[in-house]
Structures are given as structure tokens and as C-alpha cells.
């Protein structure tokens, strides 16, 4: 399996899970990662250079997916617009650029770990997930786990991932903190803002986004 890997903190629990899953006796399998930012992972997936990946929701509209996503129930702190800066899209993004347009927000768009670092040190930003929630009272789905084939495998990944209660080992937190310049405490607090289950309300939020992003 070739998996498109986005190394943002919001997927730290999932990548930790996949490392265990691929080594388990019941699911021994080889895993090769293609690492990049969301926009480039989207392109690699659609070009079939990767078998599966978390694809930006705006790019996943016609792709096969399971019930896993990167979802913000309210605020998220890693998808921001800095309104007092010149309008500028984030080249790493897809869904977030469209979301800013849908919400009518202008300024510089920041996503991912760099956005989180900014939010932890500043207050002059608009949290797009929070604004979406305030306007529509729905979660925002930033990405979906999409695949090209082997539906049974990815449904199993969905089931196994959602039923586990993860405690991230200190050594992994330490490595992530050093890589991102976000403290271990701040990482854990941030991950509390992220949901991965594409439940009924998240599906409604996704449907609403698609209707507005035409």
C-alpha cells in the first residue's frame, strides 16, 4: 500500500495507529509513504500515485471514502485567516482556501502546524472552523480518508481506529514537539479539537459545504 502522508499534527494519532495496524499479526502488510502537503497529496491521489490518503474535502467529492475524516466540531486553531494582511491563499491548502471564500473572509490564509504556532502566540486571526460553526451550527470536514480499491481493508482501518482510545507515548510527543515547535501540552490540547468520525452531523456539514462551494 502506498499511503499519502500529511505530517501535520492533526493526523498524529492516525499515523501512530497505522504503524501498529500494519505490523499486527492479523493485518501484516507493507506500507510505503509519500509525504507531502495536502494540495500535493490530493494531486498524487488523483493521479493514482498513492493508493489512499486523507484528501481535502473539496477535492474528495467524487472519490471513494470511508467514515474517517479530519473534522473540527467548533474551533480548530490550525486553519486561520489573518485579516490585517494582504489576501493570500495558502499553497498547501485546498478546502481551506475555498472555505475562506465561502465565508467571505479576506486576508492571508494559514493552515497546518504553522497556523497553530501563530494562533498560540497571537490573537489577530479568524478561526475559519469556528466562524463556520457560528454561521451554520455544524462541524467542518477538512479532509476524508479516500481510497481507490480494497474497500474491505479501509473499512477495517476505520473500525479499528475509531474503537481505540489512544494515549500518545511521551517519546512520540517529544519528537512531534521538537519537529513542530509546539509544546507537548499544546499538542494534546490541540488534538482535543480534532474529531475523526464522519458522523451524521459531520456529514451534514460536508453536504452544506459542497452546496455552497459550487
CATH number at residue 168: 3.40.190
Quote the domain boundaries for residue 158. 2-200
pLDDT for position 107: 95
Task: Give a yes or no: residue 214 inside a domain.
Answer: no
The answer as to whether 165 is a domain residue is yes
List of residues 6+ apart from 203 with CB closer than 8 A: none
45: which 3 cell numbers?
491521489
Q: What is the CA radius of gyration of the chain?
A: 17
Tell me what pLDDT residue 148 has. 96
**213 lies in a domain?**
no
If one counts every other C-beta atom within 10 angstroms of the C-beta of residue 1, the result is 16
Residue 211 forms part of a structural domain: no
Number of H helices and number of E strands within the chain?
9, 9
- Determine which helix (DSSP H) or strand (DSSP E) holds 65, and give its type and residue range: strand 64-72
In-domain check, residue 48: yes
Q: What pLDDT score does 32 carry?
A: 75
Beta sheet of 108-111, edge-to-edge order: 108-111, 79-82, 126-127
What is the pTM for the complete model shown?
0.92
Q: Give the number of domains in the chain.
A: 1
Q: Considering the domain boundaries, does residue 65 fall inside one? A: yes
Q: Is residue 38 part of a domain?
A: yes
Q: In sequence order, what are the residues at sequence separation of 6 or more whose Cβ sits closer than 8 angstroms to the Cβ of residue 14?
A: 54, 68, 161, 196
- pLDDT per residue rounded down to tens, the chain (214 residues): 889 888 899 999 999 999 888 877 565 556 677 788 888 999 999 999 999 999 999 999 999 999 999 999 999 999 999 998 988 888 888 899 999 999 999 999 999 999 999 999 999 999 999 999 999 999 999 999 999 999 999 999 999 999 887 789 999 999 999 999 999 999 999 999 999 999 999 999 999 999 999 7
pLDDT in the model for residue 105: 95
Task: Please report whether residue 209 resides in a domain.
Answer: no
How many CB atoms neighbour CB 111 within 10 A?
29
Amino acid at each position: 500500500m502506498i499511503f499519502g502522508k500529511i505530517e501535520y499534527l492533526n493526523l498524529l494519532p492516525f499515523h501512530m495507529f497505522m504503524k501498529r495496524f500494519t505490523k499486527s499479526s492479523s493485518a501484516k502488510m507493507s506500507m510505503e509513504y509519500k509525504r507531502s502537503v495536502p494540495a500535493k497529496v490530493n494531486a498524487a491521489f488523483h493521479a493514482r500515485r498513492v493508493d489512499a490518503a486523507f484528501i481535502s474535502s473539496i477535492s474528495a467529492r467524487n472519490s471513494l471514502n470511508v467514515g474517517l475524516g479530519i473534522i473540527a466540531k467548533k474551533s480548530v486553531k490550525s486553519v486561520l485567516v489573518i485579516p490585517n494582511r494582504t489576501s493570500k491563499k495558502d499553497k498547501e491548502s485546498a478546502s481551506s482556501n475555498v472555505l475562506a471564500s465561502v465565508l467571505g473572509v479576506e486576508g492571508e490564509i494559514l493552515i497546518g502546524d504553522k497556523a497553530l504556532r501563530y494562533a498560540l502566540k497571537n490573537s489577530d486571526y479568524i478561526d475559519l472552523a469556528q466562524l463556520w460553526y457560528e454561521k451554520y451550527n455544524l462541524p467542518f470536514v477538512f479532509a476524508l480518508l479516500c481510497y481507490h480499491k480494497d474497500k474491505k481493508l479501509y473499512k477495517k482501518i476505520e473500525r479499528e481506529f475509531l474503537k481505540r482510545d489512544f494515549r500518545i507515548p511521551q517519546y512520540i510527543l517529544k519528537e512531534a514537539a521538537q519537529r513542530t515547535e509546539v509544546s507537548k501540552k499544546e499538542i494534546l490540547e490541540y488534538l482535543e479539537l480534532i474529531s475523526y468520525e464522519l458522523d451524521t452531523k459531520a456529514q451534514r456539514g460536508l453536504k452544506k459545504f459542497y452546496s455552497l462551494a459550487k
